[in-house]
Structure 1
Amino acid sequence: MPTKTLHIPTADGQADAFAAFPDGGEQHPGVLMYADGFGIRPVLWEMARELAGHGYYVLVPNLFYRHGPAPLIELPEHIGEEVRPAIFAQLMPLIEAHTAERALRDADAYLRFLTTQPEVSAGPVAVTGYCIGGLLAMRTAAAHPDQVAAVAGFHGPVGADGPHSFSKLTAQVHLGHAESDLTPEALSELNQTLDAAGVRYTSELYPGTTHGFTMSDTDAFNPAALQRHWDRLLPLLDRTLANS
């Protein structure tokens, strides 16, 4: 599976990134993948390659490029509970500095770059994200309803921008929540808000999960939930993108 490192021109500089895509020189639908708060690391390369193997060009930008190229902080091979507090102490200033305004400027640049790559076919794209990346994916889809046909967020704070944030969504949506992140009551409220906004969506709690369940390099990893994530994401992309 070919991969390459890239630099994306943005309003605030250049974002380092990588892409994974099928071999063979053909064009494929584009998918913008937002990492979780830990950022680009081997597990993200693995997930991007897995998705690319199903016929997509997958672009993964370094969300925090304004502070330097990835990796910005040194991460252990396995991010266990004992090291999370120290890691988050370093990450939180980066996350807090990544304002909605910055995120939207970046989304413009990422989509412009993605849709002009020679390996990417014409037509709509999809956006997927994990943790904070789920929120960024929803913001991107709402800001670009004419381009984004599908959006998926996993264990992300997707309702953080309030009910009004869903009103511009035209993409089909899947949200996979960790049981530790949302109560059934909060899920019901979120889904009612999506209903009221007329969004076409599925939104569900993944059984037995804690925040970060898709990430195999953390204690939160849940293999069954990761598979459920693929079982929801791949049909969504197949329905909405003209997969060649």
Structure 2
Amino acid sequence: MPTIEDTITTADGACAVTLSTPDGDGPWPGVVMYPDAGGTRQTFRDMAQQLADLGYAVLVPDVYYRDQGWAPFDMATVFTDEGERKRLFGMISKVTPDIMAADAAAFFDYLESRPEVSGTAFGTTGYCMGGRTSLVVAGRVPERVAAAMSFHGGGLASDDPGSPHLLADQITATVYVGAAENDASFTEENGETLDKALTAAGVEHTIEFYSAGHGFAVPDNGPYDAAAATRHWAAMERVFGATLG
């Protein structure tokens, strides 16, 4: 079924989104897919449709909508081009936990209003910075999140006061983390910290380290790894299938 383009009104403006659904009449459980630092682009429209084909209505938001008319990044060069790297990190810094939570509430309200979508609790999944957002939202808007997934997400258990692991006692969702190997943004020590926090809070969770680099699940990322990407699709099918129905 074709992906539709729409906008969601938030307290800060109009957020462009896409909504992808399977073929058929529905309704289907809703999932918010948070992009990596490169933001929404064709790769994520394709990934949203791939997840939709598993039986979900998948929303991909433009998390940088406050930077109106922002120019897309070239993922092959953004981290080596000093000017583009500075622009990217400047935009990332504006997406704070408070903003993540406020935007998520608007996204969930939108999903709940759509005839294609069933239920009042949803899934979240995300990549890189989107993986962190997925867990932050699970802790900040817990009543709306049934399952939260993160793939090669960074900053999940850091010294930052906004670190998701500090929200563990607020999370009611099932949590799955698919981490990258040799990733300075989420090390095995960080994984242990997150595991202890989630365990102490009684959160059902899985943390797995994939034998692939940061960016393994996103096709236009240099470290994309087909085997690891296949494994991540299987994890989403399993976790969302068990939690969203």
Judge same fold: TM > 0.5, yes or no: yes
Choose the corresponding residue for 2:168, options 153, 166, 169.
Answer: 166
How far has the Cα of 1:170 moved from its partner?
0.6
The equivalent of 2:199 in structure 1 is: 195
Contact 2:13 2:66 in 1 (8 A): yes
CA deviations 1:14-46 (Å, max 9, x no partner) are: 100111001222211100111111011111011
Choose the corresponding residue for 1:211, options 199, 209, 214.
Answer: 214
Helix, strand or coil at the partner of 2:47: helix
Give unpaired runs (5+ residues) of structure 1. none
The equivalent of 2:143 in structure 1 is: 146
Contact 1:129 1:137 in 2 (8 A): yes
In structure 2, distance between residues paired with 1:185 and 1:142: 21
The equivalent of 2:38 in structure 1 is: 38
The equivalent of 1:121 in structure 2 is: 118
In structure 1, distance between residues paired with 2:98 and 2:145: 19
In structure 1, distance between residues paired with 2:91 and 2:225: 27
Give unpaired runs (5+ residues) of structure 2. none
Moved more, 22-31 or 34-43: 22-31
Structure number with greater CO (CA < 8 Å, separation at least 6) is 1
The equivalent of 1:185 in structure 2 is: 189
Identity of aligned residues (%): 36
How far has the Cα of 1:210 moved from its partner?
1.5
Instruction: Give aligned pairs, total.
Output: 236
The equivalent of 2:102 in structure 1 is: 105
1:84 equivalent in alignment to 2:79: yes
In structure 2, distance between residues paired with 1:184 and 1:137: 20
Moved more, 161-170 or 52-61: 161-170
In structure 1, distance between residues paired with 2:62 and 2:53: 22
CA deviations 1:205-237 (Å, max 9, x no partner) are: 101x22111111121111111111111111100
CA deviations 1:158-203 (Å, max 9, x no partner) are: 2243442111101001001111224333322321222112110000
How far has the Cα of 1:5 moved from its partner?
0.5
Choose the corresponding residue for 1:232, options 219, 232, 235.
Answer: 235
In structure 2, distance between residues paired with 1:26 and 1:185: 42
In structure 1, distance between residues paired with 2:166 and 2:93: 22
Helix, strand or coil at the partner of 1:164: helix
The equivalent of 1:176 in structure 2 is: 178
What code does the residue aligned with 2:22 have?
Answer: P
The equivalent of 1:8 in structure 2 is: 8
Contact 2:28 2:55 in 1 (8 A): yes
